[in-house]
């Protein structure tokens, strides 16, 4: 049915609205407000409030609400709000929150540049112009935007997102038990909306947080005890059931490198005869190259991995041997073997806890603090970090040899 617009000579009232026949009727008391009356299958009429919007290419009617749930006064008030948005160049459709998040995967990289105020455009510009040039691992920020931000606000005009909506988004992440992720998402959102102000995509930021949504984060204190280390070293395969994983954990214990540095290691970076491992700047958290001294034990572990790697250029090849393993797979590995570790008397731990274990052990072995920090390739503070270019390779080798000897003792107990 094609309904023609009619204009009532008298103003709308609830009684008159209820008596309107099928068709589209203009409200005499509010510009651009219409009532659409249609017959339903059950014989009862439906009454829908419409906002007539003039856009390029002709008129468009936007649904405002349904009578009587949406009263005449509420409909008129909503029209005034929508007209105010239109005066600012904001389409009312892109200003309204979605009833539910989009479940299909979103991608910042696939964001269209058609609307220079959309959340997709803001996220894309933020990632390409700020995050990628400034961050060591921009994929972390991209993952946050793709997982929680874009599905929640798909198609929204970034200028219309309210502070309350930010809180609700972060509360959902906390409700999933991901308190730390809620804090990380809050930080990314704060940066992104500030970037939007800087680029004149929007005028204000809806991120106005008084506190961290996930609460104060307690630094992890987990370090494996000597008893736990002894239990693992006596039979690594019983704990891991995988030869490669046992070599990975042992190498991390002997070198204190980050799991990502090991995942991205190439055989060309290793000098097994010289007992050295060069970490390229692109692989380190500090953005500076580093040399890791390898003990004889560490060299033996690498040689065992070499047999498994075959002709791959990577120490830890992925399923496609031309690529390295995804570091996330290494991160998840200890949890998958939790029951085996538990039987050996080893409480749950992460691969990063092994770095803390090494640092704690070096301290107990009376290794000088600055040497212990260098063994972990931590950035040095202040003027030392700026002008101290000495690699301390010999000193690090002595420290790690001392640590390896301690582990040998534990293994032989």
Residues 19 and 138 in one domain: no
What is the total count of domains within the chain? 3
In sequence order, which residues have a C-beta less than 8 Å from that of residue 305 and are 6 or more positions away?
A: 244, 247, 248, 251, 315, 316
Distance, CA of 126 to CA of 133 (rounded, Å) = 10
Starting at the edge strand found earlier in the chain, the sheet holding 23-26 runs: 5-7, 23-26, 33-39, 45-55, 58-67
Distance, CA of 267 to CA of 213 (rounded, Å) = 43
Domain of residue 287: give its range.
226-412
Residues 286 and 392 in one domain: yes
In a domain, 204, yes or no: no
Distance, CA of 301 to CA of 304 (rounded, Å) = 5
Residue whose C-alpha is closest to residue 407's, from 257, 292, 291, 251: 251
Spell out the per-residue pLDDT of the chain, length 413, in tens: 444 555 554 578 888 888 888 888 988 887 888 889 998 888 788 999 888 887 666 678 888 888 988 888 898 888 888 888 877 777 777 666 665 555 555 566 555 555 788 999 999 999 999 999 888 788 889 999 999 999 999 888 899 899 999 999 999 999 998 999 999 999 999 999 999 999 999 999 999 988 888 888 777 789 999 999 999 999 999 999 899 999 999 999 999 999 999 999 999 999 999 999 999 988 888 888 999 999 999 999 999 999 988 899 999 999 888 999 999 899 999 999 999 999 999 999 999 999 999 999 999 999 999 999 999 998 766 544 444 446 789 999 999 999 999 999 999 86
Residues 187 and 245 in one domain: no
In a domain, 217, yes or no: no
Distance, CA of 317 to CA of 323 (rounded, Å) = 6
Predicted confidence at residue 403, as pLDDT, reads 97
Q: At 81, which CATH number?
A: 3.30.160.390
CB atoms closer than 10 angstroms to residue 347: 12
Residues 171 and 262 in one domain: no
* Cα dihedral value 135, 137, 141, 147, nearest 10: 170
Residues 407 and 294 in one domain: yes
Which DSSP letter does residue 176 get? T
Residues 288 and 145 in one domain: no
Q: At 188, which CATH number?
A: 1.10.150.130
Burial 93-118 (b: 16+ CB within 10 A, else e): ebbeeeeeeeeeebebeebeeebebb
Residues 140 and 266 in one domain: no
In a domain, 265, yes or no: yes
Task: Give phi and psi for 42, each to the nearest 5.
Answer: -85, 5
Concatenated DSSP letters for 32-95?
TEEEEEEE-TTS-EEEEEEEEEEETTEEEEEEEEEETTS-HHHHHHHHHHHHHHHHTT--HHHH
In a domain, 345, yes or no: yes
Q: At 405, which CATH number?
A: 1.10.443.10
Residues 73 and 154 in one domain: no
Residues 255 and 341 in one domain: yes
Token couple for 220: 């992890």
- Supply the Cα-derived Rg of the chain in whole angstroms: 31
Residues in the chain: 413
Residue linked to tokens 């935007």: 145
Residues 272 and 328 in one domain: yes
Task: Give phi and psi for 170, each to the nearest 5.
Answer: -70, -35
In a domain, 212, yes or no: no
In a domain, 93, yes or no: no
Residues 74 and 115 in one domain: no
In a domain, 363, yes or no: yes
In sequence order, which residues have a C-beta less than 8 Å from that of residue 131 and are 6 or more positions away?
A: 138, 141, 142
Residues 117 and 258 in one domain: no
């Amino acid at each position: 049915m094609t309904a023609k617009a009619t204009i009532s000579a008298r103003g709308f009232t609830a009684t008159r609205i209820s008596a309107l026949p099928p068709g589209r009727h203009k409200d005499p008391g509010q510009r651009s407000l219409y009532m659409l009356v249609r017959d339903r299958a059950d014989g009862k009429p439906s009454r829908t409030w419409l906002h007539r919007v003039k856009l390029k290419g002709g008129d468009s009617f936007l649904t405002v609400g349904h009578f009587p749930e949406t009263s005449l006064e509420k409909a008129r008030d909503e029209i005034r709000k929508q007209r105010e948005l239109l005066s600012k160049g904001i389409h009312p459709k892109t200003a309204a929150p979605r009833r539910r998040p989009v479940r299909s995967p979103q991608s910042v990289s696939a964001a269209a540049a058609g609307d220079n105020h959309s959340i997709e455009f803001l996220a894309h510009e933020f990632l390409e112009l700020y995050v990628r040039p400034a961050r060591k691992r921009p994929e972390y920020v991209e993952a946050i935007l793709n997982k929680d931000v874009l599905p929640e606000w798909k198609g929204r005009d970034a200028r219309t997102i309210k502070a309350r909506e930010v809180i609700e988004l972060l509360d959902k992440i906390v409700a999933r038990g991901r308190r730390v992720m809620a804090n990380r998402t809050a930080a990314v959102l704060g940066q992104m909306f500030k970037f939007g102000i800087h680029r004149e995509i929007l005028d204000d930021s809806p991120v106005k947080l008084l506190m961290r949504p996930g609460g104060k984060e307690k630094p992890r204190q987990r370090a494996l005890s000597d008893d736990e280390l002894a239990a693992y070293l006596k039979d690594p395969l019983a704990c891991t059931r995988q030869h490669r994983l046992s070599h990975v954990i042992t190498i991390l214990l002997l070198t204190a490198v980050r799991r990502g540095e090991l995942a991205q290691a190439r055989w060309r970076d290793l000098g097994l005869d010289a007992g050295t491992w060069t970490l390229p700047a692109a692989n380190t958290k500090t953005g500076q190259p580093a040399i890791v001294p390898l003990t004889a034990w560490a060299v033996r572990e690498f040689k065992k991995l070499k047999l498994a790697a075959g002709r791959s250029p990577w120490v830890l090849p992925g399923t496609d041997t031309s690529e390295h393993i995804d570091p996330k797979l290494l991160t998840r590995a200890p949890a998958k073997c939790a029951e085996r570790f538990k039987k050996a008397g080893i409480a749950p731990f992460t691969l990063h806890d092994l770095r803390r274990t090494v640092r704690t052990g070096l301290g107990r072995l009376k290794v000088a603090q600055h040497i212990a920090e260098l063994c972990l390739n931590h950035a040095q503070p202040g003027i030392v970090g700026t002008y101290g270019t000495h690699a301390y390779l010999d000193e690090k080798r002595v420290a790690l040899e001392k640590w390896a000897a301690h582990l040998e003792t534990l293994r032989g107990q």
